[in-house]
A and B are shown apart, each in its own frame.
Chain A
Amino acid sequence: MNTLLSEEQRDALQELMNISMGQAANALARLISAKITLSIPKISAVTPHKFLAMLTKRTVWYTRQSFLGAIKGEVVAILSKDGCDAIALLMDYDLPLTQDTLNELLLELANILAGACLAGFAEQLSLKAKLSMPTIFMPAALRVEQYRWASTLIMEVEFKVEASHFDSKIVICLEEASVQTLLATLQQLLE
């Protein structure tokens, strides 16, 4: 990946991510009236094997949403089980959460974070990408062959909700052809 991305391109991608995540964090912060801390976006290339290895934690929930358009890929939201109740309360859910209301909460959070994040990303690049509805994702049931991409660009950022233990990670995975589209568009922003 270091050879695929120049320093300038990496900078540009990180900044695009920063801006998109800033919008996502703002959407969530206003909804729950709490401050959100964002990590510096991490950009890397992974194989499906490595990617699946990222998805084996028992302390988190996963959701996935695919997107189609000028760029194609998937957004995976990784939401900590820890602190989920606190967020549920802030979002006016009744405790204890049932399986149904938990799923609803996770999908709602995924939609806010991934939706705002992908929208911001596509908008800045003037690329169209349509996000599907999120689904709860059970990585354990997934096999490597089910992944259509060979090696891909992964952009991840971490959201932490201040004064609670909740944190979440949004991972955008792009298909290989989309990486080329992305880099070509980035070039225009760098001129």
Chain B
Amino acid sequence: MPIPVTIADDSLMSRKAVRRAFPIEWEVDITEACDGKQALAAVESGKAEVLFLDLTMPELDGFGVLKYLHEHHTKTVVIVISADIQPEAKRLVDSLGAFRFLQKPLQSEQLREVLFEVGLI
């Protein structure tokens, strides 16, 4: 059974970069979200066992998504992929229960390591 994953990023190029970085053998059913609200909708409808989350997005930003998921004790594994890599952003992301913080541009090797740690591959 493919795993339902959601890629939430307002940039088409970055969503493509995440897709490209997925290990080929990883069986996934991919949903794309262009903002935080769409990301939460994907989580609610069971399309995001894993959520790849950008921080700077319209409507609801990544921090808002994390906060909601944190408060609702959602089991979604969140991997933040961000261009804002300042210490403060990392701290906030950690405190909101994201599994990992990866920096853009995304390296496929790094993503593979994280997926391995979570036990997804």
Please measure, in the bound complex, the distance between the C-alpha atom of A10 and the C-alpha atom of B13, giving whole angstroms.
Answer: 10
Contact A35 B85 (CB under 8 A): no
Determine whether A18 belongs to the interface, using a CB cutoff of 8 Å to chain B. Answer: yes
Q: Provide the bound-state CA to CA distance between A124 and B14, in Å.
A: 12
Count residues on chain B whose CB falls below 8 Å from chain A CBs. 17
- B16 contacts A19, CB within 8 Å? no
A25: chain B residues within 8 A (beta carbon): 84, 86
A21 to B103, alpha carbons, bound, how many Å?
13
One digit per residue, 1 when the CB lies within 8 angstroms of any chain A CB and 0 when it does not, for chain B 1-37 equals 0000000000111101100000000000000000000
Q: A38 and B84 in contact (CB under 8 A), knowing A11-B11, A15-B11, A190-B16?
A: yes
**A13-42, CB < 8 A from B:** 14-16, 18-19, 21-23, 25-26, 29-30, 35-36, 38
B86 touches A189 (CB 8 A): no
User: Are the C-beta atoms of B12 and A19 separated by less than 8 Å?
Assistant: no
Whether A8 pairs with B87 at a CB distance below 8 angstroms is: no
User: CB < 8 Å: which of B16, B56, B86 contacts A26?
Assistant: B86
Residue from B14, B84, B87, B103 within 8 A of A15 (CB atoms): B14
Are B104's CB and A19's CB within 8 A? yes
Known: A8-B12, A11-B11, A14-B11. A22 touches B17 (CB 8 A): no
Q: A15-B13, A189-B17 are in contact. Are A29 and B104 (CB under 8 A)?
A: no
A187 to chain B, nearest CB (A): 11
Which residues of B line the A interface, CB within 8 A?
A: 11-14, 16-17, 56, 82-88, 103-105
12 A-B residue contacts at CB 8 Å?
A11-B11, A11-B12, A12-B12, A19-B105, A21-B83, A22-B103, A22-B104, A25-B84, A26-B86, A36-B86, A124-B105, A189-B16
Q: List chain A positions with a Cβ less than 8 A from chain B.
A: 8, 11-12, 14-16, 18-19, 21-23, 25-26, 29-30, 35-36, 38, 123-124, 189-190
